[in-house]
């Protein structure tokens, strides 16, 4: 059963530290998404990639966040420096463009706490 995997599942860090979250999309999927979920804002799209190229990162704070896909099996989301307001659950999702469905398959999320 193919799944999106994310590491770490939980991360507690101090303000100012660098945080890197990793995602392994489902093999064969060419679109990868990063979402952030908080109680106040709900689920927000931060960025997405197609064929490893960034298509839209307008939802991401540019000064401290960066997203990359070093290869087709790995997507990373980095926060440097982290701030308490970045505390949230970060979800990665993958999909492929073939077909009308365009379903997105979500990973289990990384719960980030910045103290």
Where does this chain bind another protein (CB under 8 A)?
Answer: 4, 31, 33, 42-45, 48, 50, 55-56, 91, 93, 100-109
Instruction: Specify the residue, 45 or 72, whose C-beta has the smaller distance to another protein.
Output: 45
Instruction: Please say which residue, 56 or 83, places its beta carbon nearer to another protein.
Output: 56
Q: Which is nearer to another protein, 8 or 16 (CB)?
A: 8
Q: How far is the CB of 29 from another protein (least distance, A)?
A: 12
Cα separation, 27 vs 59, in Å, equals 26
Nearest CA to 74 out of 32, 17, 109, 11 is that of 32
In angstroms, what is the minimal distance from the CB of 19 to another protein? 19
Q: Find the shortest distance in angstroms from Cβ 22 to another protein.
A: 15
Q: Are 27 and 94 in contact (CB under 8 A)?
A: no
Residues 6 or more apart whose CB falls under 8 angstroms from that of 101 comprise: none
CA 48 – CA 93 distance, rounded (Å): 9
Q: How far is the CB of 110 from another protein (least distance, A)?
A: 11
Three-class secondary structure of residue 46 per DSSP: strand
């Amino acid at each position: 059963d193919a799944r999106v995997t994310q590491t770490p599942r939980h991360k507690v860090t101090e303000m100012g530290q660098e945080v890197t979250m990793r995602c392994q999309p489902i093999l064969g999927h060419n679109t990868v998404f990063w979402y952030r979920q908080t109680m106040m804002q709900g689920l927000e799209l931060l960025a997405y990639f197609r064929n490893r190229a960034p298509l839209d990162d307008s939802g991401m704070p540019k000064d401290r966040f960066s997203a990359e896909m070093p290869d087709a099996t790995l997507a990373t989301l980095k926060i440097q420096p982290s701030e308490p307001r970045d505390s949230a659950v970060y979800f990665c999702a993958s999909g492929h463009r073939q077909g009308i469905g365009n379903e997105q398959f979500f990973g289990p999320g990384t719960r980030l706490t910045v103290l």
